[in-house]
Amino acid sequence: MLIRKISVGADYKGSCMHYLVGQKVLNGTYTIHLIEYSAKSDSYIIYIERNREVVQWKEFNKNMPISIEFNIDF
């Protein structure tokens, strides 16, 4: 299942950081391309894109409080 959004932090409505596929980041110079779970490192990885180049941007391990929203098409 594809991940649509990841929220990192203990206070979901307060100080939690939200990352959404398609969201502009780094002063609008990059776009979040993909959020995936890596079983190998037991962490969530965020990839960003600019000019068709995709690079790893952030990684959150299982010790961080994380909330996941999946992309569900009905």
Q: List the structure tokens of 26.
A: 């780094």
Q: List the structure tokens of 20.
A: 């959404």
Averaged pLDDT of the chain? 94
pTM: 0.91
The region that residue 15 occupies, defined by phi over 0 for left and psi between -120 and 50 for alpha, beta otherwise, is: alpha
pLDDT higher than 80, residue 62: yes
Q: CA-CA distance, 41 to 38, in Å (whole number)?
A: 6
Q: CA-CA distance, 16 to 67, in Å (whole number)?
A: 10
Per-residue confidence band for 23, with pLDDT thresholds at 50, 70 and 90? very high
